[in-house]
Structures are given as structure tokens and as C-alpha cells.
Structure 1
Amino acid sequence: MARVAALWRHPIKSHGREALSEVTLTTGQTMPWDRHWAVMHDAAQVDHDNPAWAICRNFMIGAATPGLAGIWAELDEGTGTVTLTHADLVSHVFQPDNPDDWPGFLMWVLPLCPADKRQPKGIYKVAGRGITDTPEPTISIMNTASHTAVAAQVGQPLEQERWRGNIWLDDLSAWDEFDWIGKTIRIGEAELSVTEPIQRCMHTTANPHTGQRDADTLGALRSGWDNQNFGVYAVVAKTGKIAMNDTAEVL
């Protein structure tokens, strides 16, 4: 039976990841604090005064700015304080909800943003949901066996963090997750309805420790399986807690 191998949240979209030991999922919502904030760029077409879900091209993301892939995050839920670290920068602590903290954050992240590309402008948040890549609030589920298959196709070790998944499962065969689409899976106490495969972008080519593009993950997916899909999206159908080593099964 499959088991939970890792749990991750990404407090600021494309700006760091944080490992968890357990999490409580709520029906119809994203993982708590996952993609809670996003970073608008200078060409974003969003209404900051009336925030609503917007497509990812409005935000600073690793597909266009690979250096962001090297950021790690730690969130203090009580104060809404985020600590960001990167191998090439000193750590930075700030509160994304405090506009007075934005200039310091923007100065910190600027060295990771090529001057000829879009530049970070400010923080964006949508009340009541994370800013996922999908219009509906989703959670991403990954299969460690599928990751191993891609690494073999690339011909080099790959870090799981490249895929920016929320829930990783062990003890499956490669690509079992695509058979779950249209089905419900119970993980720990929660139940999730699997909706679609995740089509991957250039973000996955960047090393999560250095922010440098060093692996042709997309080429490996296309040459090995004739698509760019890795992992699946799911919506929470039943509230419940998930913890490391919990079992997972298709209902």
C-alpha cells in the first residue's frame, strides 16, 4: 500500500519550499499556506485592490526566472513571517502582508532576476485560497517511482523539489497516479478527487539548490513518454489530517 513520503508547502508562489510532518486539509481548499502569496511583476494584469485568482504569467515564476528555484522558505504561521534563504544570498525575514516590508524583499530577490526580464513589483494575495496554477484550489500529488523513472531517463540524479509537489507517495509503480484521474484517493484521514495530470514547464529544469538550469526534465518526459506530464492535481473532497507515513489508497 502506498505511503506518504513527503509533505511540502510553498508559502510564496515560486519563492521557496518548506517541508511539513503533517497537515490538515479542508474540503475545497488548497493546502494551508501553500501559494498563499505570489509576487507580481511589472507587467502584471491584476487588480491589487480587488484580488482574484489570476493565471501564473502575472507573477514572478521559475519558468522565466530560474534563479528563484534555489529559494527555500520557512513560515511562522502565528505572525505571518517568512524567512527566505538562497545559497547565493544572505537570509531575509519579512512579512508579506506588510507593504512596508516589500521594498526590502524586492531588493533581496532582485539579484535572482535578470535585468532584461520582468521585474518583481509587489505581493499579491487572494483571500481564502492559495494562488495555484489552476483556477480551482488544487493540491498536487507526486509519485516517487515516477520521479525515479524520469531521473533514469535524464541520466543523472534529480531532486524531488524540482516538481514543487505537495504530497509525495512511496510504494507505487511508476505512473500509477495517471490511473487515478477521475477517481478519489484517501490519504490519511483526507479524501481527494484526482482531476488531471500536471503539464510541466521550464521551472523543473532548474536545480533547487543553485537555481541553475542543469537537467532537461522536459526533454526526458517527451522522449520517454511523449508528453510533459508529471504528477496529478486533486481537489480535497473530505477534510482530514495527513501525516508522514500515512497510507494512501484509491477508493
Structure 2
Amino acid sequence: MPSARLVTIQRFPVKGFSPEPMEAVELEADRFFPADRLYAVENGPSGFDPAAPAYLKKTAFLVLMRNARIAALKTRFDHESRVFSLTLDGKPAVQGDLSTTEGRTRVEDFLTSYMGTEAQGTLRVLEAPAGHHFTDSLKSGFVSLLNLASVRDLEGKMGFAVDPLRFRMNLHLDGWEPGSELDLAGRTLEIGDVRLEVLKRTERCAATSVNPVTAERDLNVVKGLQQSYGHVDCGIYAKVVSGGRIAPGDEVRLAA
């Protein structure tokens, strides 16, 4: 298998909301992708207990699978100040310090008004306690990787442009054959000093139908995957075995 290149890096500080591009990232062994899915917006009572954090179905939160309109909110999270800023139609909508009750309330009040009938109860900003992230899978959601060649192949089969950001993955790679990443479970990838053990394929859901630019549910990606390949997988999850710093342009190799 030829080597690939790391093209882009992004994290999603608040589950379901827009990505934050990164110039580089420092990964640590046995840790989740840093500052990724640190917060989530609870859509009605979920029973989440920060003293005993456990996996909850994504539908417990505002997520694109059910709430396409949150894609229209462009967000920015400052990790030092903990200020979360949202814009709508290019204009500032609200900002709040998520480390304070006042700041969280400001964001919650705006989202409650914005979501209207899609709010299934009180909307509440939750912060992940130490060692927990609001990923779709606590057992495999450490680092996510997307093969851009697979996205291009899907585009060709569907006859429509497919924005890679629909898949909400941390690392975008290029240089592999389409679909070749789906057979890498159990293998190890090397990016500089970083070693990643591939755990499983990423099963896609209706979130991918939402256009990340227009917030329209305009393309049935899940149906396209099923009709084109006989499955709904696109991307892979991996565990960090050895840590280090990685950046776009780095070579991604399959360990011997």
C-alpha cells in the first residue's frame, strides 16, 4: 500500500457544530483527539452524570442527524478563554464563556430560541469531565481519518459534489486508493513519530446528508454509499499508540 499525505486537520470542540481547522496537533498515547467534542448541547434531559460519565446516543444532543439547521451556525471556540462564538448569516449571534454558568446560559438561551420546536426540552451545554469526550463511540472514537480518494470515488458514482466536511473527521488523507482504508483494521499507521492502531470502519448516518455550507439536507450520502459499495462505511477510527506532533504535509505510512 503506498504512503499517503496528511492534507488537513480539524477538531469539533462542540459536538454537532462547525469544525476548527488546525495547523498542527499534538497527539498523546491512549488519549482522545485533543479538545475534540469537549462540549455537547443536551436536547432535553438525558441523564448524563458528569461524576460517572457514560456513552449516550447522539440523539441525546443537538446533532446534524436530526437538527440540520445547526449547520447554518458558524462557530469559533477559543480554548484559552473558553469563549464560544456563533454567527448566523455572517453576523454575530451570541458568544459565551462555557466555563461559567452565565456564559453557558447565554448560549443556551440563544439556541433555545433558534431551534424552536426542535428543542425537545431544556437545552443545556454539557462539558465533558476529564477523560471523557462526547464522541459517537467511547471505545473507538479516539482519532478519525478520512481518505479523500474515497470521497472523490463516491462523488463520481453519485454524480454530485461531496464536501469531505460532511463526514466530520479529524484527519483528511490523500494518496491511497479509494476504499483501501476500510481493510486496515488491526494495522498500524505511522505519521512521523505518531503510531495509530486502526480499530474499525466508520459507519455513516444521516448527518452526512446535511450540506455544511448551506445547512440544507440536499444529498443522501448513506443511500449513495449503500448503492455504490453495498455498505455505509466511509472513514476509519484509530487509537493513538505513540504520541507526537503532526501537521499537514506529513507522510502517512503503513507500518510493516
TM-score, scaled to structure 2: 0.91
Instruction: Provide closer, same or farther for how the CA distance between residues 61 and 7 of structure 1 changes in structure 2, counting only shifts above 3 A.
Output: same
Aligned partner of 1:171 in structure 2 is 175
Q: How has the CA–CA distance of structure 1 residues 151 and 117 changed in structure 2, closer, same or farther, with 3 Å as cutoff?
A: farther
- More displaced 10-residue stretch of structure 1: 45-54 or 227-236: 45-54
> For structure 2, which runs of at least 5 residues remain unmatched after alignment?
none
Q: State TM-score, norm by structure 1.
A: 0.92
Q: Deviations over 1:71-128 (max 9, x none)?
A: 3332222112222234376343222222212232123323553505525521222322
Shift of 1:211: 1.3
Opposite residue 159 of structure 2, the aligned amino acid is G
Deviations 1:108-158 (CA, angstroms, capped at 9, x unpaired) = 323553505525521222322322111225110000000111222221112
Query: Could you say what secondary structure the match of 2:117 adopts?
Result: coil
SS in 1 for 2:70: helix
Instruction: After TM superposition, list the pairs within 5 Å mapping 1:155-166 onto structure 2.
Output: 155-166=159-170
RMSD: 1.9
Equivalent residue number for residue 222 of structure 2: 218
Percent identity between the two aligned chains: 24
Taking a change above 3 Å as real, the CA distance of residues 120 and 220 of structure 1, as seen in their structure-2 partners, is farther
Residue 11 of structure 1: which of 7, 10, 13 is its match? Answer: 13
Given that 2:43 and 2:61 are in contact with CA atoms closer than 8 Å, whether structure 1 keeps it comes out as: yes
Cα distance, 1:55 vs structure 2: 3.1
Shift in Å, 1:180: 1.4
- The residue aligned with 1:85 is 87
Which is further off, 225-234 or 179-188?
179-188
* Corresponding residue SS for 1:115: helix
Mean Cα deviation higher: 64-73 or 50-59: 50-59
Indicate yes or no: 2:133 matched with 1:130.
yes
Contact 1:16/1:73 (8 A) holds in 2: yes
Relative to structure 1, the CA distance from residue 4 to residue 152 in structure 2 (aligned partners, 3 Å threshold; closer, same or farther) is: same
Query: Aligned equivalents of 2:202 and 2:6: distance in 1?
Result: 19
Task: Tell me, in whole angstroms, the C-alpha distance in 1 between the residues paired with 2:203 and 2:90.
Answer: 30
Tell me how many residue pairs correspond in the alignment: 251
Corresponding residue for 2:213?
209
SS in 2 for 1:219: helix
Matched to 2:107, the amino acid is F
